[in-house]
Amino acid sequence: MNFYLSEVPFSRFGSYMALAELPDWWQGHKIEHGIYLKNVSGSTQNSIVAKFIFSGDELSADLDGGSLSLVSGDFKYDFCFPDPETLIIRGGRSAVLTLDFMTESGPYDYIYEFDADGRHCYAENCYKNNTSYVVWAQEGDIYLEQNWSEQSSEFSRLNIVGTDGFLLIIKETQIEWDRKCPEYDFEACREKVAREFSEFYKSYPILPKEYEEVSVLGAYINWSAYVMPRGFLKRHAMLMSKNHMTNVWSWDHCFNALALSYKNPSLAWEQFMIMFDFQDKSGRLPDSVNDSKVIWNYVKPPIHGWTLKKILENGMTLTKNQLTEAYSALEKQTLWWINYRDFDGDGVCEYVHGNDSGWDNSTVFATVPPIASPDLQAFLLVQMAMLAELAESLGMPQESDNWKARFEKASSNFLEKCFVNGLPTAFQSGTHKVVENQSLLPYLCLILGDKLPKEYRKNMIDKLKCGRFITDHGFATESLDSNCYRPDGYWRGPIWAPSTVILCDGLSRCGEIDLAKETARKFLEMAKQSGFAENYNAVTGEGLRDRAYTWTSSGVFILAEEYLNSRA
């Protein structure tokens, strides 16, 4: 499979290491354009570990699931991660490789030598990455270039050569290493990893034949975005990306769980519950987490009840213990919104920043928050209904009745206060001043389906169909005729996977199956042409920002399964 390291990092399930082609400006630093080894742990001061310098120029890349090949003329380099903490590199005949650890970019970085298990080893102390890398040559030779200066090296480079090729081993170690240097058979490792990826690939729905390459690449992006439990992370975690967004956010995990729920219930459950590992006693979830940091400044929209509803509709079976755990987590989260985010006491909850909605700079937040937005009320109503269902299935009739009563009261309040002239309307907390905007965000309340009055559903769907939002590629997040529309405006124009998935679900629940199917088809065509981008230019379909985003690849599988496959 043709592979572009400038867009999709090469990694594997569980690893904090990744190979990527980086531009000449990275994380605020001027660097040389090239291929680098990265560390995606949240503890790093600088994600770059080392720069690869190869024989030849203009490397072409090929990925087969188990390994990556880089070729330049007669020179070939093969890379494989046999396990999450090990990278092996095979160089072809006469190929030369230099690992430049770029020690000038941070203090205390240097290489020291020692013998272990019959091998001569080199350990790079990467203070900037909060880890170390042990390197040895199973085949070929290593030559060290280093200039020590008081506390660290001015430069540290390893040159790897071999007349008949070489086999280089790089092992990541955070605390201590067992000083074992096992023998690696590259082909055996490649085949093992290929089998692991193949099994993961089977975890996803089968896409229509014309999207086969899309399917393989999407599964690879998700598989390779996983990191193993470490630090704060108690479960295997699918990051947003191993490019830039190397965290888990408190709503992106829902889409990744949903995409896995069709065929892989164990991984789906892990991804669904991962953020609830951090739920505090008030019921609040953090904004985002990684292995070394938890961000509490914001939250994310409560789409978790909707996600659980979808998972169960997909036929995923949960044990009584899992249902009990889900009920407790969702109840605490819902009560947190009710108790802590209704500042003016009008029964309508508010976002205190655009980041809370997930739509960071949406025009819904053109007025100083807190802002009551119809999507938030809809998510909470779906969650209340889900809690009522869960309580009933768990044999708690009183709790079920309580949530049904809450739903009815909140629903009536929602329809009274969040609609003007039959259209969803955002307003400022306290003043109840209407926020004038042309964002798609309020229309996500369509997920309530037939629980919305028929007239309101018709009004919203007519607005969506009239051309203000709809394009050849799907639904823009800001109306095309808005003065605030920007082609690369984040949530002020571009098409995103989460808004598409949620809106398609809402449309289908309102009986607009054909429109949902057409929107899903457009999104898959866009991903086929432009990859799995963070978001897309709504008019041209061009991929924008990060180009290896997991909720985009997960969104493709969800949309294909629910609207293009036979079940649709």
From first to last of its 568 residues, what are the pLDDT tens digits of the chain? 778 999 999 999 999 999 999 999 888 888 999 999 999 999 998 899 999 999 877 889 999 879 999 998 889 999 999 999 999 999 998 899 999 998 876 788 999 999 999 999 999 999 988 899 999 999 999 999 999 888 888 899 999 999 899 999 999 997 777 888 999 999 999 999 999 999 999 999 999 999 999 999 999 999 999 999 999 999 999 999 999 999 999 999 999 999 999 999 999 999 999 999 999 999 999 999 999 999 999 999 999 999 999 999 999 999 999 999 999 999 999 999 999 999 999 999 999 999 999 999 999 999 999 999 999 999 999 999 999 999 999 999 999 999 999 999 999 999 999 999 999 999 999 999 999 999 999 999 999 999 999 999 999 999 999 888 999 999 999 999 999 999 999 999 999 999 999 999 999 999 999 999 999 999 999 999 999 999 999 999 999 999 999 999 999 999 999 999 855 5
Helices (H), 284-319: 304-313
Strand partners of residue 173: 132
For residue 498, the surrounding DSSP H or E stretch is helix 497-509
Q: What backbone phi and psi angles, to 5 degrees, belong to 195?
A: -65, -40
Q: Quick one: pLDDT at residue 58?
A: 81
Q: CA 525, CA 519: separation in Å to the nearest integer?
A: 10
CATH topology assigned to domain 202-564: Glycosyltransferase (1.50.10)
Q: Angle at CA 51, nearest 5°, toward 46 and 56?
A: 160
Rg (CA), the chain: 25
Pair 497, 513: CB distance under 8 Å: no
Output the CA torsion 448→452→455→459 (10° steps): -30
Structural domain 17-196, CATH architecture: Distorted Sandwich (2.70)
Overall pTM > 0.85: yes
Structure tokens at 53: 């310098």
Distance of CA 176 to the CA centre of its chain: 30
CB atoms near residue 453 (< 10 Å): 12
Number of H helices, E strands in the chain: 13, 29
Query: pLDDT tens digits for 457-474?
Result: 999 999 999 888 999 999
For residue 563, the surrounding DSSP H or E stretch is none
Q: Quick one: pLDDT at residue 259?
A: 98
Distance of CA 483 to the CA centre of its chain: 30
Query: pLDDT tens digits for 173-213?
Result: 977 778 889 999 999 999 999 999 999 999 999 999 999 99
Pair 89, 167: CB distance under 8 Å: yes
Domain boundaries, the chain: 17-196, 202-564
In the block, which residue shows the tokens 């755990």? 325
Taking CA atoms, 519 is separated from 449, 457, 550, in Å, by 17, 18, 19
Structure tokens at 289: 């987490």
Q: CA 519, CA 503: separation in Å to the nearest integer?
A: 9
Count of residues in the chain: 568
